[in-house]
Structure 1
Amino acid sequence: MTNKKNLSIGGIIVLLIAAYFGLDLSGHKKNQSPSSSPATQHTETTFSNDGIDTIKAAYDRRQSNVQVQGSGRVKAILREDNDGTKHQKFILVLKNGLSILVAHNIDLAPKIEDLHKGDIVEFNGEYEYNEKGGVLHWTHHDPQNRHENGWLKHNGHIYQ
């Protein structure tokens, strides 16, 4: 009888510890691609320089098709590309000094309406090498689920 009682108490303690650590870990998950249910949503994210380092390494190796995540400051806002699929275009300067062109598909994701020079934009997308620094695209959800979903974050809102 005492043995069963000890096992029950031990089981409860294990469950409580598991529940505590499970809840604690859920609050500290790394930022992943946001769900595609809302087109824009408010979230908090933090980034390391890993994504910026990945872009620099891809640039140095002239590598393309690299999924990256990071942030940069808007250097210039370009005219939208309305030939074929529509793209909002702007140039970001990364912390390492590299400039990249962002080509955000606004047929598949909302446009960032209040974007200004000097703003910070966080991103998750695919990097393509070019001599000017590179292009970031796939900053939107993939309706056919064949590619990792990308996104842009500006002023606390995710555009996907």
Structure 2
Amino acid sequence: EAVLKQAFENEQSDIQVEGEGTVWKILPDDNKGTRHQRFILKLSSGQTLLVAHNIDLADKIKGLKKGDKVAFYGEYEWSEQGGVIHWTHHDPSARHTDGWLKHDGRLYQ
């Protein structure tokens, strides 16, 4: 979480990060263009992160609810609200580091 805190404070982006948070809010899926499952995680530090998980390339986390724990490995992009985690999936073109989400013992990539 120290890396995420520093990235947020320094307004840095394009950083590969790993962590875990608690689902704070479930947002509607973004179905415009490439589809993304969206939810907000709250880290133990209090920082919030929007997770934008590409559900055209990876399975959607079914049954996700507020209070669930989700681990992540993906790319951090700075935002005023805390940041966005994306690239939480396998890159079929092998040009980007593969990411993942883990929920309830299952890996989504």
Decide which structure has greater strand share.
2
Task: Please tell me the residue identity of whatever aligns with 2:53.
Answer: H
Aligned partner of 2:52 in structure 1 is 103
- The normalised TM-score by structure 2 is 0.99
Identity of aligned residues (%): 59
Structure number, greater radius of gyration: 1
Relative contact order, higher structure (CA 8 A, sep 6+): 2
Q: 1:58 is matched with which residue: 1, 4, 7?
A: 7
TM-score (norm 1): 0.68
Partner of 1:84: 33
Task: Encode CA deviations 1:80-112: one digit per residue, 9 max, x unaligned.
Answer: 000000000000000110000000000000000
Per-residue CA deviations over 1:29-82 (Å, capped at 9, x if unaligned) read: xxxxxxxxxxxxxxxxxxxxxxx1111110010000000001000000000000
Equivalent residue for 1:116? 65
| CA displacement, residues 91-136 of structure 1 (integer Å, 9 cap, x when unaligned) | 0000110000000000000000010100000000000000000000
Matched, 1:72 2:24: no
AA aligned to 1:90 is F
Which residue, out of 147, 153, 157, partners 2:96?
Answer: 147
Mapping 1:13-52, distance limit 5 Å: 52=1
The RMSD of aligned alpha carbons is: 0.4
Structure 2: gaps of 5 or more residues: none
Partners of 1:80 and 1:59 in 2: CA distance: 25
Q: Secondary structure at the match of 2:89?
A: coil
Q: Which amino acid aligns with 1:60?
A: E
Structure richer in helix, relative to its length: 1
Question: Where has structure 1 moved over 4 Å in runs of 4 or more?
Answer: none
Distance of 1:58 and 1:126 partners within structure 2: 11
- Unmatched 5+ residue regions in structure 1? 1-51
| Matches of 2:63 and 2:29, distance apart in 1 | 14
Paired with 2:86 and 2:2, the residues of 1 have a C-alpha distance of 18
SS in 2 for 1:80: strand
